[in-house]
Amino acid sequence: MSLDDTLALLSEAELFELVERDALRLMAFAAETRRLRAGEYLFREGERSDGGYVVMSGALAVGKESGAAAIAGRGALIGRIALFVRMKRPVSAVARERSEVLRISPTMMKRMLEEFPAAAIAIRDALADELAGLSADLEEARRLLAGDVSSRGAGAKS
């Protein structure tokens, strides 16, 4: 894949669409490409993370070993939190077909954020907005559940 193709792919991936071209170029040069065969694991649930991955080609199943999996195709970002911190992987990712991914390490991500503060601010703001939305959704769910419990409790007394 050419540098221009890699830059175009990165610019479409979640979070990276907020990053200026020079920052993407830095990541494209420093990132590692990994090729997977069908059935090969990119990582397994419980393993220590080594960064996030952008799917360049193919498709990966991402999910709990014991449950359903989402399919991540071209341009998908897998392991977003692992871009920022090393942690145990909460899910597994396995190639459903021949696939190629680009690994962005936390060290590389930190360097990019330090060298491109506008990108750091844009990513921080996007993550904060997402967290605020999740918090609002959880609060709404709590209210609905509290209402259901109150309704059931009231109905049981009748």
Question: Per-residue confidence at 158, pLDDT binned at 50, 70, 90?
Answer: very low
Q: What is the pLDDT of residue 157?
A: 47
- For residues 80 and 15, is the Cβ–Cβ distance under 8 A? yes
Percent of the chain with pLDDT over 90: 71
Q: How far apart are CA 3 and CA 1, in angstroms?
A: 7
Q: Is the pTM of this model over 0.75?
A: yes
Give the mean pLDDT of the chain.
90
Domain covering 3-115 in this structure, CATH number:
2.60.120.10
Angle at 56 between CA 8 and CA 94, to 5 degrees: 155
Q: Where are the domains of the chain?
A: 3-115
> What is the per-residue pLDDT across 120-145, written as a single tens digit (0 to 9) for each?
999 999 999 989 998 999 999 999 99
Q: What is the pLDDT of residue 53?
A: 97
